[in-house]
Amino acid sequence: MTIMDISTITTQPFSDQRPGTSGLRKKVRVFQTPHYLENFVQSIFDTQTDLKGGTLVLGGDGRYYNREAIQIIIRMAAANGVAKVIVGQSGLLSTPAASCIIRKYQTSGGIILSASHNPGGPNEDFGIKFNTANGGPAPEGVTEAIYTRTREINEYRTLTADEIDLDTPGTQTLGDTRVEIVDPVADYAALMEHLFDFERIRQLFGAGLFSMRFDAMHAITGPYARHILEEMLGAEPGSVINGEPKEDFGGAHPDPNLVHAHELVALTSGRGAVDFGAASDGDGDRNMILGRNFFVTPSDSLAVMAANAHHIKGYASGISGVARSMPTSQAADRVAEALGLDCYETPTGWKFFSNLLDARRITLCGEESFGTGSDHVREKDGLWAVLFWLNLLAVRKQSVAAIVQEHWRRFGRNFYTRHDYEGIDTAAANGVVTHLQARLAELPGSALDGYTVDYADNFAYTDPVDGSVSENQGIRIGFTDGSRIVYRLSGTGTEGATLRVYLEAYEPDPDKQNRETAEVMQPLVTIATALAEIESRTGRKEPTVIT
């Protein structure tokens, strides 16, 4: 490897580098603007001083611009005195696998390149996020420090060198920096084998009476799922579909929900349907769970996991508590109450679970946005959730639907739906929130179409571990019968604003638990759209996506 001198390049700040819900996400062409990526990366090195002389984990979801960005970051890491960079082979690492490697090798942190479930390709999205030494997404204090640095940065460090060979495992050097190319799957697979009863899952597949499909959506989980599900656990070859990672995810939207994973939904429906279906997203942290003709809401999935954790090897000794993000349904709260577990309600964003996990206050956590996870890493984990369900199916020997319906009979059912209004005008979206905010004081005690408002607030969270306060995390309107309407603006989009309206209705009566969600939610939808004046303020009659 020939090395030229380390160079200090003069630059100017960009004003739009504040990380959102999960890192900095922009269109690829924005990241390709000269110095744009470099400024953000240098701001990480300038503020995260442990990286100097330390070890950095680096990888991404394989989307367009991943490989170029990795080469840029390796050169900058070497110029900034990072002692070792651990890189996933071909630049690939799922988000949970990156978290696993950061923790396992006690590194100083990691840089993950992903825009998660957002589409990829030259005209689509790219993203970058920093995870701290505990393996979790940087907390707000860290992201704000990085952002502050991006506003004042005037130079960055890099060096001129041949490209690193990303495709061959082994160690290369760049100046004083060792660059280790590692198998992206091995450490993660070993962790999964430690947590779940692989022998029992093998028996489930081996009996020939159970079929599944896992939709990797042409994203990062293809190689992970093929190795773990087909090679280690003996699922029939072909159980993993869309398993080749592609830079543009095959032109699709790698978002595991009923709209975007329609191919999988079809395979779990009607005659000849498989028993179990699951999908993951661009970077492998989200999951969707389907039974035969049956959709498990992410909120229910978390609740079922909490109620059944004792059946699973890695959690058999008991779980300490559960947490859910504020807009996630309260199904997990009911389990926690019944089982005497601590339960926490956090703002949207996986980073808010990290302190609770580190302090061992919780073992399981989840979000309505198709995320579930545990204390095994500090990210949500798509394949982990799939393996949890497979292990549970192998132990309980019931169908997905039977397990969930039994759960509802015991704890009650929290009907749940989310309406997204994507790509709306930012000023109009802010106007909706301001309008709702102005009405909060007058709402408690009032009746809306027969529902009585119990409380109305803009959610604020005080972290019980470090006392940090996060305000304005979404408008909550709770009704006396346990129903809720929540409004918030997405922090992950790259175009305009996305208004999310989350709706929840509680049904304790088993005779009424099998009604259609859309029918049950209709009265709340009517209230929610009228209260927020959605049509007049945004010009939208209907949501773009309903999950």
Q: Which residues bind ligand G16 (CB under 6 A)?
A: 21-22, 116-117, 281, 285-286, 325, 348-350, 367, 369, 371, 490-492, 500
Q: State which H helix or E strand residue 432 sits in.
A: helix 426-439
Nearer to ligand G16, 55 or 116 (CB): 116
> Min. distance of Cβ 340 from ligand G16 in angstroms?
27
> Min. distance of Cβ 23 from ligand G16 in angstroms?
8
Nearer to ligand G16, 333 or 507 (CB): 333
Distance, in Å, from the CA atom of 92 to the CA atom of 168, rounded to the nearest integer, reads 12
SS3 for 448? strand
Placement of tokens 């996400």 in the chain: 25
> Min. distance of Cβ 372 from ligand G16 in angstroms?
11
Closest CA to 346 of 460, 467, 454: 460
> Min. distance of Cβ 487 from ligand G16 in angstroms?
11
Distance, in Å, from the CA atom of 402 to the CA atom of 223, rounded to the nearest integer, reads 31
101: tokens are: 């490697």
Residue 470 is a catalytic residue: no
Placement of tokens 């082979």 in the chain: 89
End-to-end CA gap in the chain = 51
> Min. distance of Cβ 328 from ligand G16 in angstroms?
9
Nearer to ligand G16, 300 or 367 (CB): 367
30 phi, psi to nearest 5 deg = -70, -45
Contact indicator for 81, 46 with CB cutoff of 8 Å: no
436-443, Cβ contacts within 8 angstroms, sequence gap of 24 or more: 436/475, 436/487, 436/531, 436/532, 437/475, 439/531, 440/475, 443/477
Contact indicator for 114, 97 with CB cutoff of 8 Å: no
Distance, in Å, from the CA atom of 11 to the CA atom of 27, rounded to the nearest integer, reads 21
Contact indicator for 55, 108 with CB cutoff of 8 Å: yes
- Residues with Cβ within 8 Å of 489's Cβ and at least 6 positions away in sequence, in order, are 429, 430, 433, 497, 498, 499, 500
> Min. distance of Cβ 59 from ligand G16 in angstroms?
15
Nearer to ligand G16, 292 or 380 (CB): 380
- Residues with Cβ within 8 Å of 103's Cβ and at least 6 positions away in sequence, in order, are 134, 135, 377, 378
> Min. distance of Cβ 527 from ligand G16 in angstroms?
21
The answer for 127, left when phi > 0, alpha when psi is -120 to 50, beta otherwise, is: beta
Contact indicator for 46, 142 with CB cutoff of 8 Å: no
Nearer to ligand G16, 97 or 153 (CB): 97
Nearer to ligand G16, 403 or 532 (CB): 532
Amino acid, res. 526 = T
Whole-number Cα distances in Å, 261 to 214, 256, 290, 523: 10, 5, 11, 28
> Min. distance of Cβ 303 from ligand G16 in angstroms?
17
Amino acid, res. 64 = Y
Distance, in Å, from the CA atom of 523 to the CA atom of 526, rounded to the nearest integer, reads 5
Nearer to ligand G16, 22 or 372 (CB): 22
Active-site residue, from 116, 301, 325, 369: 116
Nearer to ligand G16, 223 or 284 (CB): 284
The residues that are catalytic are 116
